[in-house]
């Protein structure tokens, strides 16, 4: 065999050996990715371990330990689906970074409809019990009445809570003072605590159902009384009507008014021994209705001239007889007006009613008519003034 063939065979033979030993590179090719994966996984595990944190989270006082990748408090709250409102408390504050071993506390705000001594207000608290809320809000509760026990838990929906603090009230009754410490809701309840009672018509100086205030002094009013029925007049009304048959300025009563009568029941009370002003009780009873007074008002214009008498000095006569006063009446009540007519003479001259009630012009007119028939004789003393 020639050298060349030997070399070629050697080359082929060598090549064959490489293929047999070449299975190891193929195997390596298959093992390299696996090694890379192992390497990557090994690195990820290191990163995983580096970012995992152990945090102690307390929500409304209930603690638990958890693992988290959250970088800060905000992320932790989001991961745990914890909504935080304006009345909630988070410590440390949202946005604070987290490290393994940190503690985070969340307390939710709870609405509290709080009524203290009758004053109502809406407040918020993160306390979980009534006792905690009172302490948090600074409400003095020693000796107070509470509508819920101190241990009562406050849910997320909130609670209505009434507080009545202990107050000092003084009652003055039956000539004595009674001092009591009370958390009562009304004066009436505090009275009972003081061993006092309201009987029959008794009452207090303030409404019995009002709220007792600190330092308040309340008088107990012992009331006794009787009833009395009285008959009282009912005033009549006056009705005025125009009358064309009467001289202008003349008023004539054509129907006298008559007062009515009503029956009224009064309560006559005595308060702590002192008689009070009578108070009417219930509706009055009308025994007799009043009858109206009817007055006719003259609208007729009278003449002022009487032939044979117009030129006389009527002003001087009126001054002498009545001092010039149309409503003058003598001491006996018999004569009236400017010219001192008696009623019969006045009516005989056409006058109505009383002369002193008629207008001055009408009185002068009728005096002139009297003079024409009788001269100055009706005025025996002052008649001479007519010709003065």
Alpha helices in 160-305 (DSSP H): 187-193
pLDDT, tens digit (0-9, with 9 covering 90-100), for 68-108: 999 999 999 998 888 888 899 999 999 899 999 999 999 99
Q: What is the pLDDT of residue 236?
A: 96
CA atoms within 13 A on the CB side of 386: 21
Q: Are residues 277 and 329 in the same domain?
A: no
State whether 374 and 328 are in the same domain: yes
Residue at 40 is within a domain: no
Q: Of 328, 308, 309, 304, which Cα lies nearest the Cα of 318?
A: 328
Looking at the structure, do residues 307 and 383 belong to the same domain, yes or no?
yes
- Best-predicted range by mean pLDDT among 1-15, 87-101, 314-328? 314-328
On average, the pLDDT of the chain sits at: 86
Q: Find the CATH number of the domain harbouring 203.
A: 3.10.20.90
- What pLDDT is attached to residue 17? 33
Whether residue 32 is predicted with pLDDT greater than 70 in this model: the reply is: no
* Angle value at C-alpha 47, between 44 and 52, nearest 5 degrees: 125
Q: Is residue 152 part of a domain?
A: yes
Query: Tell me, what's the pLDDT at 50?
Result: 53
The mean per-residue pLDDT over the stretch 324-335 comes to 96
How confident is the model over 153-175, as pLDDT tens digits?
A: 999 899 999 999 999 999 999 99
Q: What is the CATH number of the domain that holds 233?
A: 2.20.230.10
pLDDT higher than threshold 60 for residue 6: no
Tell me the average pLDDT across 33-60.
Answer: 61
CA 65 vs CA 58, 72, 102, 352: distances in Å:
9, 16, 10, 117
Are 149 and 181 within one domain?
no
Any domain includes 201: yes
Q: What is the pLDDT of residue 122?
A: 94
21-30, 155-164, 338-347 — which is least confidently predicted? Answer: 21-30
Note down the domain range covering 383: 302-387
List pLDDT tens digits, range 240-267.
999 998 888 788 899 999 999 999 999 9
In terms of average pLDDT, the best of 61-65, 143-147, 217-221 is: 217-221
Do both 173 and 156 map to the same domain? Answer: no
Tell me: pLDDT of 13 over 90. Answer: no
What one-character-per-residue DSSP string does 279-318 give? EE-S--EEEEPPBPEEEEEEEEPPP---TTTTTS-HHHHH
Distance of CA 158 to the CA centre of its chain: 28
**Domains in the chain, number:** 5
Same domain, 214 and 236: no
State yes or no: pLDDT of 22 exceeds 50.
no
The model carries a pTM of: 0.48
Q: Is the pLDDT reported for residue 45 higher than 70?
A: no
Instruction: Convert the pLDDT of each residue in 281-306 to its tens digit.
Output: 888 999 999 999 999 998 988 888 99
Where does the pLDDT of residue 372 fall: very low under 50, low under 70, confident under 90, or very high at 90 and above? very high
The answer, yes or no, to whether residue 37 has pLDDT greater than 80, is no
Domain end position, chosen among 107, 134, 151: 107
Say if 7 falls within a structural domain.
no
pLDDT band at 14 (very low <50, low <70, confident <90, very high): very low
CATH number at residue 144: 3.10.20
- Choose the final residue of a domain: 298, 332, 359: 298
Domain final position from 205, 221, 237: 221
Residue 169, Cβ density class (10 Å: 0-12 exposed, 13-18 middle, ≥19 buried): buried
Q: Is residue 47 part of a domain?
A: no
Flag whether pLDDT at 384 surpasses 90: yes
Same domain, 314 and 359: yes
Helix (H, G, I), strand (E, B) or coil at 81: coil
Check whether residue 98 and residue 118 sit in a common domain.
Answer: no
What does the pLDDT look like over 125-141, one tens digit per residue? 999 999 999 998 999 88
CA distance 336 to 344: 12
Instruction: Determine the pLDDT at residue 167.
Output: 93
Mean pLDDT lowest for which of 25-29, 350-354, 374-378?
25-29
Residue 18 forms part of a structural domain: no
The residue among 39 and 65 whose pLDDT is bigger is 65
Cis peptide before 92 (omega within 30 of 0): yes
Residue 33 resides in a domain: no
Residue 329 belongs to domain with CATH number: 1.10.530.10
Same structural domain, 341 and 380 = yes
Q: Are strands 110-116 and 159-164 parallel, antiparallel or unpaired?
A: parallel
For residue 26, being part of any structural domain is answered with: no
Output the pLDDT for position 30. 41
């Amino acid at each position: 065999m020639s050298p060349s063939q030997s070399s070629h065979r050697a080359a082929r033979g060598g090549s064959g050996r490489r293929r047999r030993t070449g299975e190891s590179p193929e195997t390596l090719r298959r093992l390299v990715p696996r090694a890379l994966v192992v390497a990557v996984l090994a690195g990820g595990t290191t990163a995983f371990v580096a970012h995992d944190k152990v945090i102690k989270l307390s929500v409304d006082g209930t603690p638990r330990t958890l693992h988290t990748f959250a970088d800060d408090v905000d992320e932790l709250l989001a991961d745990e689906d914890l909504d935080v409102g304006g009345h909630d408390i988070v410590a440390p504050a949202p946005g604070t970074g987290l490290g393994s071993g940190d503690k985070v506390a969340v307390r939710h705000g709870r609405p509290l409809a709080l009524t203290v001594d009758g004053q109502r207000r809406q407040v918020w608290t993160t306390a979980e019990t009534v006792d905690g809320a009172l302490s948090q809000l600074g409400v003095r509760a020693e000796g107070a009445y509470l509508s819920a026990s101190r241990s009562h838990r406050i849910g997320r929906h909130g609670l209505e809570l009434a507080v009545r603090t202990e107050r000092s009230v003084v009652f003055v009754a039956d000539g004595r003072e009674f001092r009591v410490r009370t958390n009562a809701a009304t004066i009436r309840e505090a009275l009972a605590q003081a061993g006092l009672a309201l009987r029959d018509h008794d009452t207090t100086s303030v409404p019995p159902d009002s709220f007792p205030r600190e330092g308040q002094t309340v008088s107990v009013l012992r009331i006794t009384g009787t009833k009395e029925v009285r008959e009282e007049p009912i005033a009549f009304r006056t009705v005025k009507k125009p009358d064309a048959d009467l001289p202008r300025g003349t008023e004539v009563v054509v129907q006298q008014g008559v007062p009515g009568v009503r029956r009224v029941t009064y309560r006559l009370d005595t308060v702590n021994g002192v008689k009070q002003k009578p108070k009417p009780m219930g509706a009055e009873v009308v025994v007799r209705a009043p009858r109206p007074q009817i007055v006719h008002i003259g609208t007729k214009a009278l003449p002022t001239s009487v032939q044979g008498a117009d030129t006389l000095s009527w002003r001087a006569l009126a001054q002498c007889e009545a001092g010039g006063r149309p409503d003058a009446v003598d001491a006996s009540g018999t004569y009236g007006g400017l010219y001192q007519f008696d009623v019969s003479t006045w009516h005989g001259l056409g006058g109505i009613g009383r002369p002193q009630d008629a207008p001055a012009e009408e009185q002068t007119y009728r005096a002139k008519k009297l003079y024409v028939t009788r001269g100055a004789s009706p005025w025996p003393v002052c008649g001479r003034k007519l010709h003065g």
